[in-house]
Amino acid sequence: MTPDHPTGGTGSMIVVVGPSGAGKDSVIAYAMTRLKARSAEVELVRRVITRAQDAGGEDHEAVSPEDFRARAEQGAFAVQWEAHGLCYGIPVACHARLAEGRTLVANGSRAVLDGFRTAFPRVAVVNIVASPEVIAARLIARARESEADIRQRLARQVPDIESDPHLTTIDNSGPLEEAGERFAAFVLSLARAEAS
């Protein structure tokens, strides 16, 4: 369930999606480093996740499943979902940041894009992809899951979003710098458009 949200606000929510192992965290981190001088305009959303703080990947707020459920019942999340046995939440405080005209970047999920579009007035979707071989190698290298869990991730059926006319796709099969620079340029162009 998504709480009521203000219809105003000038900022955009950029939702980054893509399969596990495509390198979403890396592309986001690269771009946010490049855009550090624009921190007054561009901000990374710190997700709430029922995953240990030291599990690797993104900087997130780690909570227990019980704490997550309690917060959800109190309306603390603008968007929330479950995947791979974990719960993810986008804080409701994002509404205020968008109302200030900021461009927010959130690591999202293809399965809940409708939830993002319901929660926020302006949403841009960036799909990070990579070749199956690259994805499999990255999942093995990060050593966060068992081989069976990796196979399950690779076989997971997700919504097809390729036909979305408002989708920007970035291939991260090659050097991180290439995909990172493309994403940073996309974020910056959106932030500049909102400021003008």
Each residue of 149-181: pLDDT tens digit?
666 666 665 555 666 657 899 999 999 999 999
Q: Which of 86, 1, 85, 106 is nearest to 43 (CA)?
A: 106
- Cα–Cα distance between 14 and 109 in angstroms, integer? 12
pTM for this predicted structure: 0.84
Strands 167-171 and 48-49: unpaired
Per the model's pLDDT, the better-predicted residue between 138 and 195 turns out to be: 138
Of the listed ranges 48-57, 91-100, 140-149, the least confidently predicted one is 140-149
What is the domain count for the chain? 1
| 58, part of any domain | no
Owning domain of residue 181 = 13-45+95-195
What is the token pair recorded at 163? Answer: 């036909």
Mean pLDDT of the chain: 86
Length of the chain: 196
| 156, part of any domain | yes
Separation in Å, CA 147 to CA 22, 75, 142, 154, 167: 17, 36, 12, 11, 32
101 annotated to bind ligand: no
22 annotated to bind ligand: yes
| 3, part of any domain | no
165 annotated to bind ligand: no
Phi, psi values for residue 134, rounded to 5°: -65, -45
23 annotated to bind ligand: yes
Of the listed ranges 123-132, 137-146, 150-159, 179-188, the least confidently predicted one is 150-159
193 annotated to bind ligand: no
18 annotated to bind ligand: yes
What is the token pair recorded at 122? Answer: 């302006």
CATH number of the domain that residue 35 is part of: 3.40.50.300
- Cα–Cα distance between 147 and 36 in angstroms, integer? 37
pLDDT for 12-37, tens place per residue? 999 999 988 899 999 999 999 999 99
Q: Which of 136, 134, 173 is nearest to 151 (CA)?
A: 136
121 annotated to bind ligand: no
20 annotated to bind ligand: yes
